[in-house]
Structure 1
Amino acid sequence: MAESMEVDEDGPIRHLLTIESIKIMGESVGISNLNEDAANWLSEDLEYRLKEIVQNSNKFMCHSKRSQLTCSDIDNSLKTKNIEPLYGFDSSDYVPFRHTSGGGKELYYTAEKEIDLLNLLNSPLPRVPCDVTLKAHWLSVDGVQPAVPENPPLCTIEAQYEEASAMSIPNMKKNEPVAHLKDLKFSKKEHSKDVVVSSEWSKLKPLQAHSLSLEQQLYYKEITEACIGLSSEQKSQEALGSLSTDPGLYQLLPQFTSFINEGIKVNLTKRKLNSLKQLLKMVSALLENSTLSMEKYLHELVPSVLTCLVNKQLCSRPEAEDHWSLRDLAAKILSRMCKKYNNSVNSLQTRLTRMLAQALRNNTQGLAVHYGAIMGLVELGPEVVSSLVIPRLKVEGELIRAAQTNTGNVIEQVAGSRLQNMIQRQCSPILLTSRPATDNLQDFQANYGLLGQVLFNQVKTLRQNRVGLQSLSSSSGVALKSPRPPALNISSPLVTVKVTGTGNVKMNSPSPISTSISSPIAAALRLVSQSAQSTGGSIMGSSSTPVTSVPTISATILSAMMSNPNAQAMLSALASKAQSPSIPKVESTISPPKTPTTTST
């Protein structure tokens, strides 16, 4: 009756149960003249049901750690299908099948022995199995556990502690008191099966939950609500200032860390860009606090900040919203973490560099991910850029060209433009110092591909500005700072000089005194400002970070330049090189010192 499923070349599919078998089964339940199509459909369905039951039975066998299928496995499989199991077919032994063939068919059957019904009827009946019953007992009476068989045996806490200590410490007897543990020492070399212990056993201090006071809870609530934008902008700035200066935040640091971590996860899912910026500002404020140590919480903060840096989509409209500033802020925060907490134990900078380089090498991600990876590597230092970013410029140029030619994807076009501008701005000063002055456009294009043209023009502009400033400095005897100068600490008040596009010069000074700046000097200052803006640094001043918008000039140096003939000659030479033919005279307020200095450095 049972046949293997096979396909004849000239006939239909042959199933395990033939159509004749289905018709015989139908006649046994009173259904005669069964249609052949219906019998074929029933044969397919019955074959599927049987295979499903056998497969589920095999699962019960595997979970029972057995290699032999039993009748109980079949019953359990039927129960999972809400089918009443078959009663009377129970055998714990293996039931062998016998094989017979005839008429071109094969049949497997079980050998059945004959049973004498008279002996079966005269045999005594088996005992009726007991029903499932419930019995109640007392767990405790007035806080004392009664000694009944249903309850676990009585054991004191001291005995349990001794047993646990004996199991965790090698070579300790089970009934040895805890008081002798302080005198227990272990040799440096134990048996190979024992644990090697080189120090005395000491008790572990139990963990305790530190509860916050009512004032701390109120402070935490106010700070978090203000930082995530539920309050006004002024209150948000005050909250960030409090986080960066308050010396008593060490107890609230775990709560703030968890809040930032969970907040970044939630807002990344909801694509809330402003909330992500506020959370990163909280991280930056906590890093600025000199009384806090964030080293114990880097495992929570670094993944969150790194996600904001290299995540593919941070907002709902990447082509319109400014998520680039969020990536820049995340890169600066990671750089600050590396400078403050990197050591040989955690290897924070090495691990971050490896992850950013891996994100940069993944060409399947969007250009926004490459922007974040390159920005993070730029913040880690020029050595990282020279070894990881510069060799990738040719590939990045190809990706940018592919994105700009794809007119159907506006997001990638905007990302490609942003990435190209950032590479031109950040990599040009490094190429200025690493490439020889004899390089031409063909060399740049051969090394950097499509980005060679813009990088060559930018490096050429930087070289011309540097050569012009050095020649003027040597001719006038006044030393000018090179691009990206080190910090210069001058205690005198600062004068901010801003040159507008129309040639006007604006100056701000703490104490007002009328001073006139002639048009040639204004033109010279305009040229100096253009040079400072192109190099991304400050010509003279006391700023710890490079200024990209306006140069900062010490009032002492500026006053000395006003009274020094050599300095005036230098400014006149600069004025002759200015592009604007006529620049009006501008009034400024400058506070010169009582004793002007005649030389400047």
Structure 2
Amino acid sequence: MQSSTGAMSEREERRFVEIPRESVRLMAESTGLELSDEVAALLAEDVCYRLREATQNSSQFMKHTKRRKLTVEDFNRALRWSSVEAVCGYGAQEALPLRPVREGELYFPEDREVNLVELALATNIPKGCAETAVRVHVSYLDGKGNLAPQGSVPSAVSSLTDDLLKYYQQVTRAVLGDDPQLMKIALQDLQTNSKIAALLPYFVYVVSGVKSVSHDLEQLHRLLQVARSLVRNPHLCLGPYVRSLVGSVLYCVLEPLAASINPLNDHWTLRDGAALLLSHIFWSRAATLAPRSPPQGPCRTHGDLVSGLYQQILLSLQKVLADPVRPLCSHYGAVVGLHALGWKVRTWPFSQPLELPFVIRKMVHVCVLS
């Protein structure tokens, strides 16, 4: 019994190959690192365990393919399974010729000579180690023809050409200036110009400034008019920038603005206009607050691109409407927002009558004041 147990333990010991700590120390010294004996021993033990684990996993890939010969691809699959980069350069089918070193029992693969001229003029292109894959990415050209990340909203205009930069400065100066006639011309041009696709992310960034001018109703109205002109421009593809536009518009609908502190400021009209614009982004035509002719479904222009965003907006409006802590202006914005998005979403408040009596009383109070 002892002899069989000893033979079994001997076979178990011979099954694994250990890397000595001297080899680990030599590898570290080749990279300029000095290791102590304790650290080298710990690293050698960890390396042996990792190699046994990779070998065991690669043998599983070999068995699944019903083979008895372990290949380099099996080992690379095991490495990828462990989130480790694959080993390149050892996938050749033929065996590598090894040459011994006279000084010790060391073998190294013999390097073959390569004619660079013949290799450069060869018609057969060697297969790379990386797998071929197709990845779709939509990019938009900025003013200089460089590829910009999809949906990115830049904060600087230094990359624009002189003509586009001049147009951008004139439009922003006209919209935020004191001349109403000049502002009307600029907004009309934004609505019909077919050559401002490169400026779209910059105007979207301008519209996002509603959060910094929440104390000025006039500026908020003008920024919403810029967003409305961009949405109505048939030559612009708003797909990657709809989320940013919706966030700016929804801010004007729901948030308690600094201008709403003064009861003399008519921020209710601002919320009505923002709700209409929010509806126009998701529907084929501008929605109205009249309940007679509601839109029937999201438009194919923007609705297909932001179908998931549409549901998120509904949930946000419903959450604000059911929150008793939110102020009256936020509840009003949620009501007009749900009303503008269609007759189907207006059935939601009646499904929770116990949670909304305070909202109904507030809405009646608003109607009496108006």
The TM-score with structure 2 as length reference comes to: 0.53
Counterpart Cα distance in 2 of 1:364 and 1:329: 24
* 8 Å CA contact 1:225, 1:231 repeated in 2: no
Partner of 1:266: 212
Q: Map 1:455-534 onto structure 2 (within 5 A).
A: none
Question: 1:419: Cα distance to partner?
Answer: 5.4
Question: 1:384: Cα distance to partner?
Answer: 0.7
Question: 1:182: Cα distance to partner?
Answer: 5.8
Counterpart Cα distance in 1 of 2:221 and 2:317: 21
Counterpart Cα distance in 2 of 1:421 and 1:400: 14
Partner of 2:272: 328
* 8 Å CA contact 1:226, 1:235 repeated in 2: yes
Matched, 1:173 2:106: no
Counterpart Cα distance in 2 of 1:294 and 1:205: 12
Could you give the per-residue CA deviations for residues 113-141 of structure 1, whole angstroms, max 9, x where no partner exists? xxxxxxxxxxxxxxxxxxxxxxxxxxxxx
Partner of 2:171: 223
Partner of 1:557: none
Residues 416 and 225 of structure 1: CA distance in aligned 2, closer, same or farther (over 3 Å): farther
SS of residue paired to 2:213: helix
Partner of 2:225: 281
Counterpart Cα distance in 1 of 2:229 and 2:138: 33
* 8 Å CA contact 1:367, 1:416 repeated in 2: no
Residues 355 and 213 of structure 1: CA distance in aligned 2, closer, same or farther (over 3 Å): same
Residues 173 and 284 of structure 1: CA distance in aligned 2, closer, same or farther (over 3 Å): same
Question: 1:200: Cα distance to partner?
Answer: 3.2
* Match among 323, 326, 350 for residue 390 of structure 1: 350
CA root-mean-square deviation: 3.6
Counterpart Cα distance in 2 of 1:305 and 1:213: 29
Higher helix share: 2
Q: Which amino acid aligns with 2:358?
A: E
Question: 1:418: Cα distance to partner?
Answer: 2.6
Partner of 1:301: 245
Unaligned runs of 5+ in 2: 1-82, 92-118, 140-145, 149-157, 284-300
Higher RCO structure, 1 or 2 (CA under 8 Å, sep 6+): 2
Question: 1:328: Cα distance to partner?
Answer: 0.9
Identity rate, percent: 27
Q: Which amino acid aligns with 1:305?
A: V
Counterpart Cα distance in 2 of 1:223 and 1:345: 28
Could you give the per-residue CA deviations for residues 492-514 of structure 1, whole angstroms, max 9, x where no partner exists? xxxxxxxxxxxxxxxxxxxxxxx
Matched, 1:358 2:319: yes
Which contiguous aligned blocks of 4+ residues in structure 1 show a shift greater than 2 angstroms?
168-172, 174-177, 179-186, 199-211, 343-346, 389-401, 415-422
Counterpart Cα distance in 1 of 2:280 and 2:305: 17
Counterpart Cα distance in 1 of 2:344 and 2:369: 21
Question: 1:272: Cα distance to partner?
Answer: 1.0
Counterpart Cα distance in 1 of 2:340 and 2:229: 18
Partner of 2:339: 378
Q: Map 1:548-563 onto structure 2 (within 5 A).
A: none
* 8 Å CA contact 1:309, 1:376 repeated in 2: yes
Partner of 1:342: 303
Matched, 1:211 2:170: no
Question: 1:367: Cα distance to partner?
Answer: 1.5
Question: 1:337: Cα distance to partner?
Answer: 1.4
Residues 247 and 317 of structure 1: CA distance in aligned 2, closer, same or farther (over 3 Å): same
Residues 304 and 213 of structure 1: CA distance in aligned 2, closer, same or farther (over 3 Å): same
Q: Map 1:34-73 onto structure 2 (within 5 A).
A: none
Residues 286 and 213 of structure 1: CA distance in aligned 2, closer, same or farther (over 3 Å): same
Question: 1:315: Cα distance to partner?
Answer: 0.6
Q: Which amino acid aligns with 2:267?
A: H
* 8 Å CA contact 1:335, 1:379 repeated in 2: yes
Partner of 1:200: 133
Could you give the per-residue CA deviations for residues 214-271 of structure 1, whole angstroms, max 9, x where no partner exists? 121111011111112x13111111111011011111011011111211x212102xx1
Counterpart Cα distance in 1 of 2:227 and 2:306: 23
Question: 1:378: Cα distance to partner?
Answer: 0.8
Paired residues in the alignment total: 225
Q: Which amino acid aligns with 1:215?
A: D
* Match among 194, 198, 217 for residue 247 of structure 1: 194
* 8 Å CA contact 1:185, 1:201 repeated in 2: no
Partner of 2:61: none
Residues 232 and 363 of structure 1: CA distance in aligned 2, closer, same or farther (over 3 Å): same
Q: Map 1:79-98 onto structure 2 (within 5 A).
A: none
Residues 314 and 379 of structure 1: CA distance in aligned 2, closer, same or farther (over 3 Å): farther
Unaligned runs of 5+ in 1: 1-167, 187-198, 404-414, 423-601
Counterpart Cα distance in 1 of 2:304 and 2:279: 14
* 8 Å CA contact 1:185, 1:200 repeated in 2: no
State the structure with more CA Rg. Answer: 1
* 8 Å CA contact 1:264, 1:304 repeated in 2: yes
Could you give the per-residue CA deviations for residues 535-585 of structure 1, whole angstroms, max 9, x where no partner exists? xxxxxxxxxxxxxxxxxxxxxxxxxxxxxxxxxxxxxxxxxxxxxxxxxxx
* 8 Å CA contact 2:349, 2:356 repeated in 1: no
Q: Which amino acid aligns with 2:178?
A: S
Q: Map 1:304-319 onto structure 2 (within 5 A).
A: 304-315=248-259, 317-319=261-263
Q: Which amino acid aligns with 1:323?
A: H
Could you give the per-residue CA deviations for residues 25-80 of structure 1, whole angstroms, max 9, x where no partner exists? xxxxxxxxxxxxxxxxxxxxxxxxxxxxxxxxxxxxxxxxxxxxxxxxxxxxxxxx
* 8 Å CA contact 1:338, 1:348 repeated in 2: no
